[in-house]
Amino acid sequence: MNLLIKNIRELVTVAAHGQRFRLGPEMKELGIIRDAGVLCREGKIAWVGPMTSLTEPLPDDIPELDASDAVVLPGFVDSHTHMMFAGDRVEEFGLRARGATYQEIAEKGGGILNTVRHVRAASKKELKRSTAAHLSTVMKQGTTTVEIKTGYGLDMDSEIKMLEALHELREEEMATVVPTFLGAHAVPPEFRGDADGYVRLVCEKMIPYAGKKHLAVFCDVFCEKGYFTLPQSEAVLSAGRAWGMLPKIHAEELVSYGGAELAGRIGAVSADHLEHVTPEGIRALRDGQVVAGLLPGVSFFLNHGYAPARDLIDGGVPVAIASDFNPGSCMSSSMPLMMTIACTHMGMAPEEAITASTLHGAAALNLSATHGSIEVGKQADILIADVPDVRHLVYHFGTNHIRHTVKNGTLLEIP
């Protein structure tokens, strides 16, 4: 809970000075302090600055960590995952390697519905166990806050099972877990040909249940051709809002569909994917101050084109990067890998990728007042990395450079 990290060679604060995000050219400003220190008290950051300004005498019992050969930065905030799942889709991976597309596989009953069959058959305990294992992996990779969606149950009992499992993990796990209700992820087989009927079940039964029991912070929808239309998506997000869940949306992944404009109009907290966002969509996101949640790992894994990160950043939209970790479209939870792909394939600068994975991840979860940067009063979620400077975290890919993850001021050794 209490910890002094001292003599830090390079401290990357990503300081936001009370703002939710840093737009345009400011996204590259990382608030770096050299020969710095960070004091954590009772899980929060109590002091940050150059070592020379630490004048206050500290009690002897505060543990100290020397970081004179390390880079220190905020814990990664992975603002979009489907980390709670059962089974795998390795067969589909093989089919895609031989040329089948994600949509073709979905049309034949694979894809999301494949995972739904496994999740329906799994117990809450099994879902918790596998998700806890993923959480422990991501903490070692530097992710300290993770959003996790439901959406592989698609019936009342199975969606509740996922929500309850998430609720329990939130209490039990060290990582900050943010639950999102995604009942409208796909139309389940029982409602084939009757998407409106399924949307009624989501809006009239599932959302009120989750809302009454405070089981989800966000409500999300897969707004996409072949999944949920714009009016259906709006109905789901309005019902979610009426029950206290803030709107998020999967938008413009497979085709340009108008999900970004919808997100801007209703003031969604984030609109994610955006591989096919149009210039009008970008303006709507900017005007609505909607965080664009980019998912580089999906474009890489499905090999289907990248979101226009440069146009979004230069157009004044706050851009976040997330993993979308799930068994179908991105079987990786590594935030550093996502950052590398954002730089090599989406034209982002390493510094922008850092802001997108920390402060802007927090903004995408409405948590930028408490998470995403190293500033006094925020949660002490901090990484100590073995790299010469912070850009190397992005440049030197495929290796875990995280030496320690600090969560709420508690130091975790990375084996």
Q: In the complex, which residues of this chain contact ligand NIG (CB under 6 A)?
A: 82, 111-112, 115, 222, 250, 253, 298, 324, 326-329
Contacts of 188 (CB under 8 A, 6+ apart): 113, 116, 154, 155, 198
Closest-CA residue to 262 (of 216, 270, 320, 254):
270
* Residue owning tokens 């019936």: 155
CA–CA distance, 150 with 163 (Å, rounded to integer): 7
Question: Scanning residues 310 to 329, which ones bind Fe ion (CB under 5 A)?
Answer: 324
Question: Binding partner of residue 340 among Fe ion, ligand NIG, none, CB under 5 to 8 Å per kind?
Answer: none
CA–CA distance, 221 with 151 (Å, rounded to integer): 9
Give me the least distance between CB of 293 and Fe ion, in Å please. Answer: 9
296 or 327, CB closer to ligand NIG? 327
Contacts of 141 (CB under 8 A, 6+ apart): 76, 333, 334, 335, 336, 400, 402
10 or 324, CB closer to Fe ion? 324
**Reduced to 3 states, what is the DSSP secondary structure of residue 148?**
strand
Give me the least distance between CB of 212 and Fe ion, in Å please. Answer: 26
Question: Binding partner of residue 222 among Fe ion, ligand NIG, none, CB under 5 to 8 Å per kind?
Answer: ligand NIG
Give me the least distance between CB of 197 and Fe ion, in Å please. Answer: 24
CA–CA distance, 409 with 49 (Å, rounded to integer): 17
Closest-by-Cβ residue to Fe ion is 324
Question: Binding partner of residue 300 among ligand NIG, Fe ion, none, CB under 5 to 8 Å per kind?
Answer: none
Give me the least distance between CB of 302 and ligand NIG, in Å please. Answer: 8
Closest-by-Cβ residue to ligand NIG is 328
> Alpha carbon of 39 to those of 51, 86, 358: distances in Å?
11, 40, 19
78 or 324, CB closer to Fe ion? 324
43 or 87, CB closer to ligand NIG? 87
Give me the least distance between CB of 375 and Fe ion, in Å please. Answer: 29
Give me the least distance between CB of 111 and Fe ion, in Å please. Answer: 12
**Reduced to 3 states, what is the DSSP secondary structure of residue 101?**
coil
Give me the least distance between CB of 277 and ligand NIG, in Å please. Answer: 15
Number of residues that bind Fe ion (CB under 5 A): 1
Alpha-carbon dihedral angle through residues 179, 183, 189, 195, given to the nearest 10 degrees: -160
Give me the least distance between CB of 300 and ligand NIG, in Å please. Answer: 12
Q: Is 253 in the site for Fe ion (CB under 5 A)?
A: no
Question: Binding partner of residue 329 among Fe ion, ligand NIG, none, CB under 5 to 8 Å per kind?
Answer: ligand NIG
4 or 184, CB closer to ligand NIG? 184
Give me the least distance between CB of 139 and Fe ion, in Å please. Answer: 21
> Alpha carbon of 53 to those of 38, 285, 301, 382: distances in Å?
11, 41, 47, 20
Question: Binding partner of residue 405 among Fe ion, ligand NIG, none, CB under 5 to 8 Å per kind?
Answer: none
Contacts of 243 (CB under 8 A, 6+ apart): 207, 208, 210, 211, 212, 219
13 or 326, CB closer to ligand NIG? 326
CA–CA distance, 177 with 147 (Å, rounded to integer): 6
**Reduced to 3 states, what is the DSSP secondary structure of residue 250?**
strand
CA–CA distance, 197 with 238 (Å, rounded to integer): 17
Question: Binding partner of residue 328 among Fe ion, ligand NIG, none, CB under 5 to 8 Å per kind?
Answer: ligand NIG
327 or 372, CB closer to Fe ion? 327
Q: Tell me the two tokens of residue 121.
A: 């058959």
Closest-CA residue to 255 (of 212, 297, 295, 223):
223
295 or 312, CB closer to ligand NIG? 295
74 or 218, CB closer to ligand NIG? 218
In the complex, which residues of this chain contact Fe ion (CB under 5 A)? 324
